Amino acid sequence: MSAFAAACKNGSIARTVIDAGLPTNKGMGSNLRTWARYPEKTDLMMLADRPPLLETPLLFFLEDLTPNDAFFVRWHYAGVPTRVDLRTFRIQVTGAVNRPLQLSFDDLRTKFEPVTMTAFSQCSGNSRSFFQPRVPGAQWTNGAMGNARYVGARLKDVLNAAGVKAGAVEVSFRGVDVPPLQASPHFEKPLTIDHALDGESIVAYEMNGAPLPMLNGFPVRLVVPGWFATYWVKCLSEITVRTEPLHNFWVDTAYRVPTAPGYNEDPKHPSEVSTPITRHLTRAVFVTPESSAQLKRGTQVEIQGIAVDDGAGIRRVEVSTDGGRTWADAALDRVIDKYSWRRWRMNWRPTEARGYSLQCRATNAAGETQSASQWNHGGYGRNVIQTLDVEVVA
């Protein structure tokens, strides 16, 4: 019996469907995915059910704020938190501090100045399925990302309330999720003490005007703007100030990228040195049209997308309709917030009935732009210039 027939017999048609959705390393993939609806969520593309890995369909990125029920979901272990009681929930601030704290949800809300911030976040492995050669990991297309307005307390204010002792080098973060086995490493991520005290990160208790969905980290989530979501610890419950750097699987083995610019390495000769993934690389992503769209010759279409970076600020987005030979500037929407994505648009009237190869590339205020090729063994930080193949009909 062939593997396909075996999979069908067992009801595992997901494999066929998913593979059919990734025809090439170009374009946006397609929506031929398995869909599922999880609690507090709308229909999302399900990459895995346990732990839930849910991807946001592109159409939601037409809005500046990604709705909570459409926001992507990524957990590491099957045992995700499913119940929180605010009457007993506490965030512990311990380690090298003068006054260890136990903060309730309402302490966080009422004892610290609320800060509102619109920030972009994305999984370190967003768009991983487009790397060639393919790499293991969650096979996201471009939807492991989102933009949301958060309200929270400054991490700096929380740490100052506890009083950071001299000699602190790092602050690390854990959530209420527990590993499935004694031997499994607890998910915990660190920031340097300077980063933690720079006033930018917040402990967020509100997302787009509402409590966070359970699967996005209810009741509070760390927001580290400009940095990949692996640092945005969900269901945050333990903040530890450290006098020695944290070493664990999540720091020393996982979420590491080559030190070369653009997180780049040669598949045949992978880099021997690596470093933890940190900030977002500059990148533009097409939102519309989608690769499945049929455009009409002589009819104007708006090409639209979003561009992201680490907070320096998107300054320019260029679009090519001839596979990268010539480029024209797209119009940039207003800046929403320092760490938000920025929308861009360009009107286009295709003159011939044929296939077109569209490309987009962003440049930020620091002069960082995108390159035509990129690969790393973890499939992290993809920011290669995107190519979108569309069909124009008469």
Q: Which residue, 95 or 152, is less far from another protein as judged by CB?
A: 152
- Neighbouring C-alpha atoms within 13 Å toward the C-beta of 358: 32
The full DSSP string for 186-238 is PPEEEEEHHHHTSS--EEEEEETTBPPPGGGTSS-EEE-TTB-GGGS-TTEEE
Burial of 313 (0-12, 13-18, 19+ CB in 10 A): middle
Is residue 188 within the footprint of another protein (CB under 8 A)? no
Element (H, E) at 8: helix 3-9
Residue 206 near another protein by CB under 8 A? yes
Q: Which stretch binds another protein (CB under 8 A): 159-167, 183-191, 295-303, 311-319?
A: 183-191
Complex with another protein: residue 151 or 169, whichever CB lies closer? 151
- Amino acid (1-letter code) at residue 26: K
Task: Give, as one character, the DSSP assignment of residue 164.
Answer: B
- Give the shortest CB-209-to-another protein separation in angstroms: 8
Q: Which of 57, 163, 185, 313 binds another protein (CB under 8 A)?
A: 185
Work out which of 57, 67, 77, 332 binds another protein, going by CB under 8 A: 77
Decide if residue 269 touches another protein (CB under 8 A).
no
Q: Which of 131, 353, 74, 100 is nearest to 262 (CA)?
A: 131
Instruction: Give the binding range for another protein (CB under 8 A) out of 155-163, 208-216, 301-309, 329-337.
Output: 208-216
Question: Is there binding between residue 214 and another protein (CB under 8 A)?
Answer: yes
Give the three-state DSSP class for 52: strand
Q: Of the listed pieces 29-37, 298-306, 334-342, 360-368, which binds another protein according to CB under 8 A?
A: 29-37
Q: Judged by CB, which is closer to another protein: 253, or 275? A: 253
Which residues within the stretch 130-159 sit at the binding site for another protein (CB under 8 A)? Answer: 134, 136, 138-139, 151
According to the binding rule CB under 8 A, does residue 105 interact with another protein? yes
Cβ atoms of 31 and 20 closer than 8 Å:
no
The residue type of 20 is A
Report how far apart, in Å, the C-alpha atoms of 25 and of each of 135, 145, 320, 374, 387 are. 12, 19, 18, 12, 9
| DSSP-assigned letter for residue 333 | P
Query: Does 10 participate in binding another protein (rule CB under 8 A)?
Result: yes
Other C-beta atoms closer than 10 Å to the C-beta of 329 total 11
Q: Is 292 in the site for another protein (CB under 8 A)?
A: no
Show the site string, 232-261: x = touches another protein by CB under 8 A, - = not: -----------------x---xx-------
Amino acid identity of residue 339, one-letter, is Y
Residues that bind another protein (CB under 8 A): 3, 6-19, 33-40, 43, 46-53, 77-78, 80, 82-87, 104-106, 109, 134, 136, 138-139, 151, 179-185, 205-206, 209-211, 214-215, 218-219, 249, 253-254
